[in-house]
Structure 1
C-alpha cells in the first residue's frame, strides 16, 4: 500500500499575497488566520495577503507568517478529508508539521516561532555570520571542505537538501574560505545566501538556550501522525521527542535528503508540499525522481490535487 506525506516549507518561502485566496474561499483557512491575528494582537493576515514585502521578510514576522499560511493550507486539505501517513517540515516547517500532527496547538506554535526568529536573529551580531549554498558537490565532500576551512572558526553543513545541494553556515570568514575551497575541489557553484544569521550551526547555541526555556513551558501532546525529524531523519511519536527535536534543531543541520529517503523507505510514494512556494517539491523530485509530488498553496493547486485524489 503506497503512503502519503505532508511536508511543510521553511523560511524563504514567503511572498505577499500568500494565503489570501485560501482565506477567501475556505472557512477553515480563514479561521486559522483569524486565530493567529487574535493571538498576536495585530493583523498578521494583512501582512501575508498584502505585504509590504520588506515587513514580511523580517524574521520575527516571516516565521509566524509561513507557519500560519502552511496551517491554513493544511486546514483546507483536512476539511476535504485528506489525511497523511507521515509529516515532516524543513527547519521552521517542522513546527507546522507538529501542529498538523496534533502535537502542538496553533497558537502555541505561533508564539514559539516568533521567539525562535528573534532568538536566532540576536544570537550572532549582524555581519559576523553567513550562509552559502554549495551546488554540485556531495554532502560528505562538503563536510570535509568545512572541516578543512574552519581553522578554529565555525563552519558546517546547515541544510543537507539534496545530493547536489548543501547549505553551509558559520563565521563569515570561514564560510568564505569553505566556499572558495569547494570551488577548487570541484563544486559547480557557490551562492552566498541573503540571510540575516547563520542558522543551524554551533553559533546558534545562545538561541537554543533561550528557545529551550520556551519549549519547556509550552504544552505538547503525543503525535497522532508520525513525524520524520530534521535532526535524526527518523520517526518520532511522543511529546518529549518533539520538544527535544525542536531544541536540538536550532544548532543541528536539517537532514532533508535523509528525511525524504527515510519516508521512501517507510513506503511513502506521494508527497504534498503544504504551504507557500515549491522549494521542497523541487528538492523531492531531485531526490526521488519516481515520486509523485504536489504542492498546495491556493485554490488552483488544491483543486488539482483533489482531482487526482478522486480519480
Structure 2
C-alpha cells in the first residue's frame, strides 16, 4: 500500500450541515464541536449545522468551521487505527494538518484560524482585491504575464498552484482583471473570477501577516509528531520555530499544492486520505498523479467505505 498521507481541505469547501448527522450519533464527534464553541465563546456549531450559508462563508467563520469539522472526522479515523506518515493541508487546511500532527492543540488551532480569518478579511478594503482561477495554462507562461502587469501599487501574483492546468492568481482587482484578459488572449482555456472577500496569498496580505505573527506568539507550538508538508516550500517540516515562520509567510505566498503532493509521492506516499468536507483535494491529487490511491472522508458513510477499502488493501 505504501505510505499514507492525510490531507485537509481549505476555504471554499464549507457547507451548512457538515458533520451534523455524525455529531448527532457520535458523542466524540459532537464533543469537538462543543470544544470549538467554548474556545471561541460563540455558537460556531449552530452556525455550521444550521447556517445561514452566507454567514458561514465569511472568512472568519468558514476557517474555524472547516478546521473543526475536519478534526471531528479525524478523531474517528484515528480510532479506526489509521495513522499517517505525512500530513498536509491546502491553505487553511494546513492548520488542520498541524492539529493532526500534534503541533497545535485543537483549541489553539481553532482560535488561530478564527483570528487569521478576521485579519485576512480586514487586510484589504472591500472590492479592491480579488482572485481568479486560470485553467489550461502552464506556470511559466502565466508567471510571465503577471510579471509583465504587476506594479508596486497594483500587484498580481500566482497564489495557488493546484494541479497541472489549474492556477489561481491574486492581487489588486484591476491587475487580476488585466492578467485574466491577457491569459485568455495567450491561450488559457478558461478564466474564472472567484467569489472571495480578498486577495489571499498575495503581497497585499503582508499587513495581516505581521499582525498574525503576534497571535501565533501567544500559542504553544510542539515538535511535529509526523512531518507536515509546508504550503510555502512544499517540503517536510517538523521544527516548531520553522512551522510558525512558514504560517506567517503562507498568508502572502503561493500555495504550492501540486509540488506538495509530488513531494509526498517522492517520499513513498501511495495513499492519500482527504479528511473534511468535500472532495476538492481528492480531485486535484488524481489530476497530479492518477496512479495513487485517493479516498475522501466527508461523512459517516464515506468513513465506513474508506475503512473497508483500506482493510482490503
Q: TM-score per shorter chain, which class?
A: over 0.9
Partner of 2:212: 211
Partner of 1:108: 108
| CA distance in 1: counterparts of 2:55 and 2:241, whole angstroms | 34
Within a 5 Å distance, the mapping from 1:193-208 to structure 2 comes to: 193-208=194-209
Partner of 1:47: 47
- Greater shift in the superposed pair: 42-51 or 122-131: 42-51
- Greater shift in the superposed pair: 251-260 or 135-144: 135-144
Are the counterparts in 2 of residues 149 and 181 from structure 1 also a CA contact under 8 Å? Answer: no
Partner of 2:85: 85
The TM-score normalised by the length of structure 2 is 0.97
Partner of 2:70: 70
| CA distance in 2: counterparts of 1:86 and 1:18, whole angstroms | 25
Within a 5 Å distance, the mapping from 1:154-169 to structure 2 comes to: 154-169=155-170
**Any idea what the Cα deviations from partners look like across 1:3-23, whole Å, max 9, x if unmatched?**
010000000000011011221
| CA distance in 2: counterparts of 1:74 and 1:38, whole angstroms | 19
- Unpaired runs of at least 5, structure 2: none
Q: Match of 1:217, SS? A: coil
| CA distance in 2: counterparts of 1:55 and 1:114, whole angstroms | 14
Q: Match of 1:4, SS? A: strand
Deviation for aligned residue 1:207: 0.4
- Greater shift in the superposed pair: 223-232 or 238-247: 238-247
Within a 5 Å distance, the mapping from 1:189-268 to structure 2 comes to: 189-268=190-269
| CA distance in 2: counterparts of 1:151 and 1:235, whole angstroms | 33
Partner of 1:291: 292
Partner of 2:24: 24
Partner of 2:281: 280
Are the counterparts in 2 of residues 22 and 72 from structure 1 also a CA contact under 8 Å? Answer: no
Q: Match of 1:310, SS? A: helix
Q: Match of 1:134, SS? A: strand
| CA distance in 2: counterparts of 1:230 and 1:32, whole angstroms | 26
- Unpaired runs of at least 5, structure 1: none
Q: Match of 1:290, SS? A: coil
**Any idea what the Cα deviations from partners look like across 1:124-181, whole Å, max 9, x if unmatched?**
1111101000000012211111111224421000000011000000011110110011
| CA distance in 2: counterparts of 1:79 and 1:179, whole angstroms | 46
| CA distance in 2: counterparts of 1:84 and 1:147, whole angstroms | 39
Are the counterparts in 2 of residues 28 and 79 from structure 1 also a CA contact under 8 Å? Answer: no
Q: Match of 1:131, SS? A: strand
**Any idea what the Cα deviations from partners look like across 1:35-73, whole Å, max 9, x if unmatched?**
111112222111111211111011111110000001011
Q: Cα RMSD (Å) of the superposition?
A: 1.0
Are the counterparts in 2 of residues 200 and 252 from structure 1 also a CA contact under 8 Å? Answer: yes
Partner of 2:302: 301
Partner of 2:271: 270
Deviation for aligned residue 1:25: 2.8
The TM-score normalised by the length of structure 1 is 0.98
**Any idea what the Cα deviations from partners look like across 1:186-227, whole Å, max 9, x if unmatched?**
100001000000000100011000000011121110000111
Q: Match of 1:191, SS? A: strand
Runs of 4+ in 1 over 4 A off after TM superposition: none
Instruction: Kindly tell me the number of residue pairs found equivalent between the two proteins.
Output: 311
- Greater shift in the superposed pair: 151-160 or 58-67: 151-160
- Greater shift in the superposed pair: 29-38 or 264-273: 29-38
